[in-house]
Amino acid sequence: MRETRSLRDAHRGDENGVGIIEIVVAMLLLALLVLSFAPVLVSAIKLSGRNTTIATATQIVNQQIEAARAVSTLSAAVTKCTDIVGFIAVTSAPIVDPRGVTLQPVWDAITCPLSYPGVVKVRVSVTQAGYPSATASATTLILVTAP
C-alpha cells in the first residue's frame, strides 16, 4: 500500500492547475486574434454605411423618375414636352439620408422631339458632396404627344 500512496503523491505534483504563465500566453494569443480581425470589422462598418447611402440615392432616383412620369399623366389626353421640361427645371431640395449625408437630385437638360408623338430622354442623377461622380443615376424615355 505504501507504493500506491507514493505514486499518487508523485502524480499530484504534476497536476497543480493552470499557472500564471499559461494564462498570460492564452491572453496574448486571444489579443492577437482580436487585433487581426479589427481591420476587417472596421472596413465592413464603412462599407455598410456607404451601401446605405447608395441605397438611399437609388431610391431618390426612382422617386424622381416616377414624379416626372406623373407630370405627363396629369394632363389627361395630352402629354406635353414643355410640362416635363418645366418639371425638371425646378431644383429639388437636398435630401438627408439616415446617416446624415446630404444627397442632391440633379436632372440633365432635355430636348423635345422634332415630331409628335415622340419620346423625351430624361436622366436624373443623385450627387453627394465630396464625391466627383454621381452616387446613383438612371435614364428613361417618356412618351410625349404635344410640344
Q: Give residue 71's pLDDT band: very low, low, confident or very high (50, 70, 90).
A: confident
Helix (H), strand (E), coil (C) string for the chain: CHHHHHHHHHHHCCCCCCCHHHHHHHHHHHHHHHHHHHHHHHHHHHHHHHHHHHHHHHHHHHHHHHHHHHHHHHCCCCCEHHHHHHHHHCCCCCEECCCCCEEEEEECCCCCCCCCCEEEEEEEEEEECCCCCCCEEEEEEEEECEC
Q: How confident is the model at residue 141 (pLDDT cuts 50, 70, 90)?
A: very high
Contact 79, 144 (CB under 8 A): yes
For residues 46-71, average pLDDT: 91
**Which triple of cell numbers denotes residue 82?**
414643355
pLDDT tens, residue by residue, 105-133: 999 999 899 898 999 999 999 999 888 89
Average pLDDT over residues 60-75: 83
Domain ranges for the chain? 13-144
Residues 48, 43: Cα–Cα separation, whole Å: 9
Backbone CA torsion sign across 115, 119, 120, 121 = negative
79, amino acid identity: T
- Assigned C-alpha cell, 142: 417618356
pTM for the complete prediction? 0.72
Q: Is the pLDDT of residue 11 over 70?
A: no
Mean pLDDT value across residues 32-59: 91
Q: What is the pLDDT of residues 88-108, one digit of tens each?
A: 998 889 998 888 899 999 999
Confidence of residue 28 (pLDDT cuts 50, 70, 90): very high
